[in-house]
């Protein structure tokens, strides 16, 4: 909530970088700026005072600090000067940086030493009583140092660098050493002339010395534990979005002040929530902020050169920002897990080390009486005080947002920004001016209107524009739909929500127009209708309406709604079914719901890396769902028309773009096609586009393949990306076999594949050639691959390719197989038919149980069985052959001509099968080898 007290402002310096520091007694505030002046302000005087000024600097002032018995200034002229306390009387030079700009001055808690940071890669610690006693800290950073801060004990110095690292130095001994390097917390800023370089990146230590706060690269305020040098908690507010430009802690550590855009926020360190806000200077951001060490006063300077002093920033009745209280003793510290007690014996003392019962990775907040001031002289009781323990997860849940929308900044914002057009809003205090413009002005006509409801949500669809306003006093939340081309001139309609409910999200879908929608039509016109409308409400439901305002269905959201986007035939809804995880996962799920019959076509978790959030959702030109996250990844849902068979394919990694190398920039998605990523370029730590409206940039889409081959890698990437979109187009065919567009794209695919086949034949990589040939689509392409193998005299490989060609001609084509697969998907996912009870009086179907059928004997027939008696008798009556046989001249036996006749006559006797139990089988077989095989008979 906003504070009731007022701040007084003075124009102190020219526009640009400014700085501020309080004297150690809190009676004086020193400010410096690019006008080379340091002004001395008395805190007990009002805005009409005439401050004294120090004029000795030759260039702009970048840092001021107060020490014991003096105050210091440093600037772009490389000199650090010392002055008499509270006066502009110069008292000599402390040090010089030899041509490098001074970036920060930090005086230790005792007020006897100053740490000087400059554009050099080292930090000087200088004894103010004897300036020849200098300790140099070097080797910790690779780029210029921006900020330095002291631990409350004075034994640790933390330095923040342009390379995005924070280094903790142990300076308790005569020789300083690096104790820890913390990377990945603060942003990396290379350009010293950029506005981001002026943002505060210092490590602000809590008076307890157990942790420090820093503004992170993810626009959070994080707490880094002194014991582990890792993140222990974070401060964030759903109503505050943007980069934190300044930080300061109160003298007792109960409050944390931060600056975000044109706003000053005061946080409770215990509850990690915003308590009070105060507006800053318009069109400027705060550079440095400071609490008075002795009174309830907060002061800051900004890029407009304005000094603001907020007296009584902490309202009466709240804990004092200076006096020590029980609430400031040990706030927000991470404790160790309690050791497991022995099975027999006494448990460890809860107050001893390791006695926390909540475990690791939980932040312990002391609430209740801890927010009240202690009586004078009272001592804080640290154990057994009856405070309530609250466990807080360190992963903040991403709030609901509208794709393509920006927050109100300088009284202007975007309600929607997509491939259809733009909705711009200008705040006129009493009302809003809404301007709707389209990229294709030949199809739709732009317009503007006065908005007295102050719409805060908007969506641009193919068939109309959708708006929603929040509830206010006795007015309920409303949704208004404005179709582009209507059956009549009165096509707008309004949908009101019940009292107490508000709109969380909007989505307008529909088919692309077949004709121009510039002018309304009252005599028919486009018969495709006015689209489909989806409204997400705070009561946890999705309301589906037709383009004419007819309610169709209300579906419940299985969890917490986050965002949604509509296409021609479906709506993509993102929700959180449960809670976030402690390791940084948002646990978001995307659900694809059909407009036709409200079937859930797909339900897939979003592949967002841990520690990152969803930034945008939308659809491609082909109608496929796509998402973009804060890690810079673009994912595409492939096979989304195959029920329950979709998958997220990583289509692009914007961190690998050539234009981004060496630059600090990010991207605001607008649309996505097969080969192009349409976006707006955001410079530095910019979160969203501003005004005037920037131009849409087209960036090439490239799959994040890791193969670095300069010849094959681009072709492989192009083939893989083209195949994704060919499959998407084929899934939309239905019962059709193919289309001319798909045939053309597959011909181009075959041309690219033949290039890879030629390179593989040349390198004699037969297995790779076979694999590539199987991916060809047409017989002519396979024939061309065979010719390539013959050209390189790979005869065996050519025969294999011909075999593949023959096999392809004898079986179904890939297009026919794809159509059969589509038909199979529809059959597999058909609803199950349930029989009506008491309507089927037929006998139950026969159950075939072959494992329990009776076995049947089968006789194995040989020439010695009883059924072959006639054969043996015929052989016994046959005449015997003469003993002497003629031999051939080569000494081999010569067969007589009647040998074959004899054997053939003997086996011409008809053989009849007999059962095992027949009575005429009286002659047993003389050989024991004849047996009966037992095997299961038929069912």
With 70 as the cut, is the pLDDT of residue 926 above it? no
Mean pLDDT is highest, among 132-136, 214-218, 467-471, for: 467-471
Burial class (CB in 10 A: 0-12, 13-18, 19+), 714: middle
Tens-digit pLDDT profile for residues 384-394:
444 444 444 56
With 50 as the cut, is the pLDDT of residue 908 above it? no
Burial class (CB in 10 A: 0-12, 13-18, 19+), 160: buried
Which residues share a beta bridge with 137? 123
* pLDDT at residue 892 in the model: 43
- Average pLDDT on 165-169 reads 92
* pLDDT at residue 316 in the model: 86
Q: Phi, psi (5° rounding) for residue 906? A: -65, -35
> DSSP assignment of 742-798, as one string?
HHHHHHHHHHHHHHHHHHHHHTT-HHHHHHHHTT--SHHHHHHHHHHHHHTT-HHHH
Sheet-wide strand order for 447-451: 412-417, 421-427, 432-438, 447-451
Q: Whole-structure pTM over 0.85, yes or no?
A: no
What does the CA dihedral 239, 244, 247, 249 come to, rounded to 10 degrees?
30
With 60 as the cut, is the pLDDT of residue 257 above it? yes
Burial class (CB in 10 A: 0-12, 13-18, 19+), 188: middle
With 50 as the cut, is the pLDDT of residue 80 above it? yes
DSSP state, 723?
H
* pLDDT at residue 368 in the model: 43
- Average pLDDT on 144-157 reads 92
Distance CA 293, CA 21 (A): 10
- Average pLDDT on 788-793 reads 93
* Listed residue (674, 679, 720) closest to 701, CA to CA: 674
Q: Phi, psi (5° rounding) for residue 206? A: -75, 145
Omega cis (within 30) before 692: yes
Tens-digit pLDDT profile for residues 479-508:
999 998 654 445 889 999 999 899 999 999
With 60 as the cut, is the pLDDT of residue 611 above it? yes
Half-sphere exposure of 670 (CA within 13 A, CB side): 25
Distance CA 748, CA 681 (A): 33
* pLDDT at residue 863 in the model: 56
Confidence of residue 65 (pLDDT cuts 50, 70, 90): very high
Confidence of residue 661 (pLDDT cuts 50, 70, 90): confident
Tens-digit pLDDT profile for residues 333-380:
444 444 444 444 444 444 443 444 444 444 444 444 444 444 444 443
């Amino acid at each position: 909530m906003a504070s009731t007290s007022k701040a007084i402002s003075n124009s102190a310096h020219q526009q640009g970088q400014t700085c501020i520091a309080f004297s150690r007694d809190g009676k004086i505030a020193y400010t410096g700026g690019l006008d080379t002046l340091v002004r001395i302000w008395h805190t007990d005087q009002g805005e009409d005072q005439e401050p004294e000024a120090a004029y000795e600097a030759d260039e702009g002032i970048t840092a001021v600090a107060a020490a014991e018995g003096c105050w210091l200034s440093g600037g772009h002229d490389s000199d650090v000067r010392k002055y008499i306390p509270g006066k502009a009387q110069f008292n000599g030079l402390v040090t010089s940086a030899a041509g490098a700009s001074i970036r920060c001055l930090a005086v230790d808690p005792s007020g006897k030493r100053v740490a000087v940071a400059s554009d050099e890669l080292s930090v000087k610690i200088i004894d103010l009583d004897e300036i020849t006693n200098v300790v140099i800290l070097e080797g910790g950073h690779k780029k210029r140092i921006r900020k330095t801060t002291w631990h409350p004990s004075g034994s640790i110095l933390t330095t923040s660098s342009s390379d995005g690292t924070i280094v903790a130095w142990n300076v308790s001994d005569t020789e300083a050493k690096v104790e820890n390097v913390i990377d990945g917390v603060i942003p990396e800023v290379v350009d010293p002339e950029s506005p981001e370089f002026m943002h505060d990146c210092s490590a602000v230590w809590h008076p307890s010395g157990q942790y420090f706060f820093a503004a992170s690269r993810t626009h959070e305020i994080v707490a880094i534990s002194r014991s582990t040098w890792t993140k222990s908690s974070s401060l964030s507010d759903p109503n505050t979005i943007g980069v934190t430009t300044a930080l300061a802690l109160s003298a007792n550590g109960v409050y944390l002040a931060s600056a975000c855009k044109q706003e000053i926020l005061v946080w409770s360190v215990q509850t990690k929530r915003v308590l009070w806000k105060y507006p800053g200077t318009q069109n400027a951001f705060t550079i440095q902020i400071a609490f008075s060490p002795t009174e309830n006063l907060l002061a800051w300077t900004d890029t407009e050169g304005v000094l603001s002093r907020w007296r009584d920033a902490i309202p009466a009745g709240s804990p004092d920002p200076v006096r020590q209280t029980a609430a400031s003793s040990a706030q927000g510290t991470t404790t160790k897990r309690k050791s497991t007690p022995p099975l027999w014996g006494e448990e460890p003392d809860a107050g001893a080390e390791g006695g926390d019962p909540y475990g690791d990775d939980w932040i312990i907040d002391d609430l209740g009486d801890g927010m009240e001031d202690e009586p004078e002289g009272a001592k804080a009781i640290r154990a057994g005080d009856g405070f309530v323990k609250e466990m807080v997860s360190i992963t903040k849940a991403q709030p609901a947002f509208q794709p393509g929308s920006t927050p109100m900044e300088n009284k202007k914002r975007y309600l929607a920004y997509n491939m259809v057009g733009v909705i711009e809003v200008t705040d006129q205090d009493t009302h809003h001016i809404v301007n709707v413009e389209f990229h294709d002005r030949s199809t739709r006509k732009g317009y503007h209107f006065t908005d007295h409801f102050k719409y805060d949500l908007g969506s641009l669809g193919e068939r109309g524009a959708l708006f929603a306003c929040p509830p206010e006093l006795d007015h309920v939340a409303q949704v208004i739909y404005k179709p582009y081309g209507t059956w009549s001139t009165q096509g707008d309609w309004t949908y009101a929500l019940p009292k107490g409910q508000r709109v969380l999200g909007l989505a307008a879908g529909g088919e692309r127009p077949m004709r121009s929608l510039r002018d309304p039509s009252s005599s028919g016109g486009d018969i495709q209708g006015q689209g489909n409308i989806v409204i997400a409400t705070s009561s946890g439901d999705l309301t589906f309406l037709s383009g004419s305002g007819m309610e169709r269905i209300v579906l419940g959201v299985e969890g917490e709604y986050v965002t949604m986007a509509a296409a021609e035939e479906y709506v993509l809804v993102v929700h959180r079914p449960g809670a976030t995880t402690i390791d940084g996962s948002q646990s978001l799920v995307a659900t694809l719901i059909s407009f036709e019959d409200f079937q859930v076509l797909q339900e897939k978790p979003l592949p967002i890396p841990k520690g990152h959030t969803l930034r945008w959702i939308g659809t491609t030109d082909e109608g496929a769902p796509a998402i973009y996250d804060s890690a810079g990844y673009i994912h595409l849902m492939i096979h989304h028309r195959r029920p329950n068979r979709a998958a997220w394919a990583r289509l692009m990694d914007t961190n690998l773009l050539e234009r981004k190398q060496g630059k600090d920039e990010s991207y605001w998605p607008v649309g996505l096609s097969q080969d192009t990523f349409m976006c707006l370029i955001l410079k530095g730590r910019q979160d969203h586009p501003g005004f005037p409206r920037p131009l849409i940039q087209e960036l090439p889409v490239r799959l994040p393949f890791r193969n670095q081959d300069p010849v094959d890698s681009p072709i492989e990437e192009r083939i893989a990306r083209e195949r994704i979109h060919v499959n998407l187009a084929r899934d939309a065919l239905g019962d059709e076999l193919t289309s001319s567009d798909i045939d053309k794209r597959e011909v181009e695919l075959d041309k690219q594949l033949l290039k890879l086949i030629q390179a593989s034949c040349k390198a004699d990589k037969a297995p790779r050639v076979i694999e590539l040939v199987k991916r060809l689509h047409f017989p002519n392409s396979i024939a061309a691959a065979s010719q390539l193998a013959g050209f390189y005299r790979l005869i065996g490989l050519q025969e294999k390719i011909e075999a593949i060609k023959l096999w392809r001609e004898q079986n179904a084509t890939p297009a026919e197989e794809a159509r059969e697969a589509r038909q199979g998907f529809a059959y597999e996912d058909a609803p199950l038919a349930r029989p009506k009870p008491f309507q089927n009086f037929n006998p139950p179907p026969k159950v075939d149980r072959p494992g329990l059928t009776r076995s049947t004997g089968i006789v194995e027939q040989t020439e010695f069985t009883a059924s072959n008696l006639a054969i043996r008798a015929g052989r016994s009556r046959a005449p015997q052959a003469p003993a002497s046989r003629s031999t051939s001249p080569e000494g081999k036996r010569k067969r007589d001509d009647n040998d074959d006749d004899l054997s053939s006559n003997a086996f011409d006797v008809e053989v009849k099968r007999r059962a095992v139990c027949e009575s005429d089988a009286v002659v047993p077989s003389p050989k024991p080898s004849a047996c009966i095989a037992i095997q299961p008979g038929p069912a």
